[in-house]
Amino acid sequence: MINDYQAALAYIHGRPRLQKDSSQRRIGHLLAQLGHPEHNVRTVHVVGTNGKGSATAYLSRLLAAVSLRVGMYTSPFLHRFNERIVLNGQPIRDDQLVTLVQKIKPMIDETEQTEQTLIPTEFEVITALMYEYFAEQRVDVAVVEAGIGGRSDSTNVSDQAILTMITTIGKDHMNLLGQHLETIAANKAGMIRPNVPTVCGQLPQAALAPIIQQATSCRSRLFFAQRDFLVQPLGLHQFRFQNRSVCLSELDTKMLGDFEMEDAGMAIQAFWVLNEQYQWLERAQAAALIYQEVPKVRWGGRLELVQTDPPVLIDGAHNVPAIKRVIQAVQQFNYQSYEVVFSAYADKEASKMLEAVQKLPAVHITVTNLTDTERATAPLKSQHGITYQANWQAALKLALVNADHRRDCAVLVTGSLHFISQVRTWFLG
């Protein structure tokens, strides 16, 4: 019986994590049982290797400022499951989640009795709950962050897509998406829909051909960063945005890092394209709204400063491209030395991630274990310039002590969003 919030969460997390078949048969069956709520939800799809969460947050904020009812779907969560399903900035209530799980459980029970191959995974169940909730709440648009983000992604089921965003293309989930950038890009390009515009961030050269080919076949208008719109950092908290219709100079943001400005730029371009299509605002009004709303966006755990003395930055970078972006951004702060506390899942390229971290000046790295997770921690041990400490709290305390005794030293905690969520709670409560 699902009688309370904890029982609802236990049921969701008790679903299978993965299935051998990567098709949409299971999510399709479950949505059919629900009466296809996805067909009643206009959707902006956000797909890419990194930057999806921030881009989703920026665009959701801009759309809500036009007085739209805006759903936002992201993964994973930092502190509470409810953060994954949000309506106009408010996470789904506990009682609403319980009601949805009570509704969906008998349908899954029936499937378990009749067709084992259609039993949905955890992510598919959450995605179905999201579509059902947003349909019930009559959202005007849902900004939906894809899962792994391939052609068969569980989120890629709505026939009401109004825009696709492709943030970045890099090597991650290669066992599912392919070993080469061209293959990964072709998989991600499967999210492009017929006659639906597509906004792309700065993509590697190898990723362009599959995306252009898919967009051409779908008659999707393509907007590329640095071709159709420009994002120019002007400092730690300011950037310039320009497209063929508008130039917005000295835009403020509370998010650190050039890559966050790039994510904001993609969201601004997406908002601009949608506003041109739906005519919510005159151009001057749209520009004023962007100036007003972009500085209000917060997205925890993304190059976030959680302590100032010594400075402690946390970032949930969990793959090689993301770590490289973080290290490049951190170097702009011009600290003379760094203490890094690092932990990653075993299925990630942890050694290559550490190679990127070692490019920081005068860096000392402490690797540690993830806790409270079913997935294994990368088996990293002490080596030259790297200390191993099994307990992450002890590793963090050691880094803080070391930073106090080093000249102009900052602490960086990274490697996994699950890891930094625990660290964030430790600092901020």
Which contacts qualify for 110-119: CB closer than 8 Å, 24 or more apart? Answer: 110/33, 111/29, 111/30, 111/33, 115/29, 117/21, 117/25, 117/26, 118/25, 118/26, 118/29, 118/30, 119/15, 119/16, 119/19, 119/26
The pLDDT tens digits along the chain (429 residues) read 899 999 999 999 999 987 767 789 999 999 999 999 999 999 999 999 888 999 999 999 999 999 999 999 999 899 999 999 999 999 999 999 999 999 999 999 999 999 989 999 999 999 999 999 999 999 999 999 998 867 788 999 999 999 999 998 876 654 555 567 888 888 889 999 999 999 999 998 989 999 999 999 999 999 999 999 999 999 888 999 999 999 999 999 999 888 899 999 999 999 999 999 999 999 999 999 999 999 999 989 999 999 999 999 999 998 998 999 999 999 989 899 999 999 998 877 888 999 999 999 999 999 998 875 555 566 666 666 789 998 999 999 999 999 999 989 999 999 999 899 999 999 998
3-class secondary-structure state, position 252? strand
Ordered domains of the chain (ranges, CATH): 5-296 (3.40.1190.10), 304-428 (3.90.190.20)
Which letter, b or e, does each residue of 340-354 get, where b requires 16 or more Cβ atoms within 10 Å of its Cβ?
A: bbbbbbeebbbeebb
Q: What is the DSSP code (8-state) at residue 242?
A: E
Contact at 8 Å (CB) between 22 and 135?
Answer: no
Q: What is the 3-state secondary structure (H, E, C) of 158-182?
A: CCCEEEEEECCCCCCCHHHHCCCHH
3-class secondary-structure state, position 108? helix
- N-to-C CA span, the chain: 32
Q: What is the pTM of this model?
A: 0.92
Identity of residue 191: M
Q: Nearest-CA neighbor of 329 among 252, 395, 412, 226?
A: 412
The DSSP string of 128-167 is HHHHHHHHHTT-SEEEEE-SS-STT-TTTT-S-EEEEEE-
Identity of residue 186: A
Residues contacting 66, CB < 8 A, separation 6+: 275, 280, 281, 289
**The residue to which tokens 């290669």 are assigned:** 174
